[in-house]
Amino acid sequence: MTDTTPQNGSVLIAPPGLKGLVVADTSIGSVRGEEGFYHYRQHDAVEVARHQTFEAAAHLLLDGSLPEAAAESAFRSELASARRIDRALFDAIAPAGHPPPPMAGLRAALSLAIDDTPTIDLDPGQRRSRTVAAIGHVPTLMAGLHRLATGSTPLDPDPGLGHAADFVRMVTGAAPSPRLARAVEIYLLLTMDHGFNASTFTARVVTSTGAGVSSALAAAVGALTGPLHGGAPSRVLDMLDDIGEPSGTEAWTRRRLEAGDKIMGFGHAVYRADDPRSALLKEVAMGLGGDLVERAADIEQRMLAVLRAWKPDAVIVTNVEYYAAVVLHLAGIPQELFTPTFATSRVVGWAAHVLEQAGDNKIMRPKARYVGPEPRRG
């Protein structure tokens, strides 16, 4: 990365939220918001989602290439093994069978289960093994905590199933149909990585201190709990339920806009063209069909018309959360697990960025501009 540090002692002022500010170099991928395009390494991410498995895409992000059949099979086995966890871990984070909320439980479990030796004291292979362990643990933990909360026993992973199908099985108690398993897998593929979003940036900042893998990933989980980042899909489903029939969309939307409320599932901080993730998830939803899909599509068009009339100078697009809510619901994923399901995917991107940051590290230490009262000296 080019050094832009002022040589005369002056200070560079970043825009609010660091919007548009380049803070690191990466070979993992990027988002081209003006084009409605993003990629994993050198591959179009939407095409990866259309044609690859979860395991192949995770290999691409972690190891730098789409694997041949033998390498994909080996990585699939590695990841399946990592899905197995010690039942004592559930006892530790859910004493007497009373689990914490899923994301809080995930933070605690990662801290307990994944070795937190500082990354600066590990070689690249040791760092990678810890990130693969975390990627494997997340779906088992999320499903198990959910089952405990609903009075059921956590299920052991099935190494014969793919990562996505096994997650759905461990949540619902039954292996999903190939069609539903693939629908969830496409969602996971689409959301593995997406530029320097808040949780990914958090993981890199923590890693830059030399901290361990579990510390970096637990911090990223904390960032993901914010409704403005990973919490929107469940709120989209609430919105669709609240609107009811599509004919009520316009009045409902205007009331919310007049009240100053944020409309979940629409708008994006980066995209100024269609969100390509939303476009593919809409295809997936339409393929699944049913009343919810038809109603969501009708509401989407009506809501976009209201939003664009309300802010005619703004670019309003449907974002990934809108059809993610529909697809996950149809696959039997309960609403309270929508954000944990996002974490099951995004942990791959976090892991790749942890490895990249640790591999060529410099601690992140920005400055803040003081705007309070003039201090007294002496």
What pLDDT score does 90 carry? 94
pLDDT, average across residues 278-304: 96
Active-site annotation holder among 194, 321, 329, 356: 321
Residue 73 has pLDDT above 90, yes or no: yes
Residue 1 has pLDDT above 50, yes or no: no
Question: For the chain, what percent of residues have pLDDT higher than 90?
Answer: 79
Active-site annotation holder among 137, 146, 194, 268: 268
Task: Judge whether 319 lies within some domain.
Answer: no
Catalytic-residue membership of 321: yes
Which domain covers residue 206, as residue numbers?
53-177+192-227+340-359
Q: Tell me the HSE value of 338 on the side-chain side, using a 13 A CA sphere.
A: 25
What pLDDT score does 199 carry? 96
Do 118 and 210 contact (CB within 8 A), yes or no? Answer: yes
Phi-psi region of 29 (alpha: psi -120 to 50; beta: other; left: phi over 0): left
Task: Judge whether 198 lies within some domain.
Answer: yes
Task: Judge whether 274 lies within some domain.
Answer: no
**CATH code, domain carrying 80:** 1.10.580.10
What pLDDT score does 10 carry? 67
Q: Any idea what the Cα angle at residue 98 is, between residues 96 and 104, rounded to 5°?
A: 130
Catalytic-residue membership of 268: yes
Residue 4 has pLDDT above 80, yes or no: no
pLDDT band at 2 (very low <50, low <70, confident <90, very high): very low
Task: Judge whether 23 lies within some domain.
Answer: no
Residue 5 has pLDDT above 80, yes or no: no
Q: What is the pLDDT of residues 316-335, one digit of tens each?
A: 889 888 999 999 999 999 99
DSSP state of 14: P
How much is the mean pLDDT over the chain? 92
pLDDT, average across residues 63-82: 97
pLDDT, average across residues 220-236: 82
Task: Judge whether 147 lies within some domain.
Answer: yes
Task: Judge whether 125 lies within some domain.
Answer: yes
Give me the number of domains the chain comprises: 1
Task: Judge whether 132 lies within some domain.
Answer: yes
What pLDDT score does 37 carry? 92
Q: What is the pLDDT of residues 137-171, one digit of tens each?
A: 999 999 999 999 999 999 999 999 999 999 999 99
Whole-model pTM: value is 0.92
Task: Judge whether 317 lies within some domain.
Answer: no
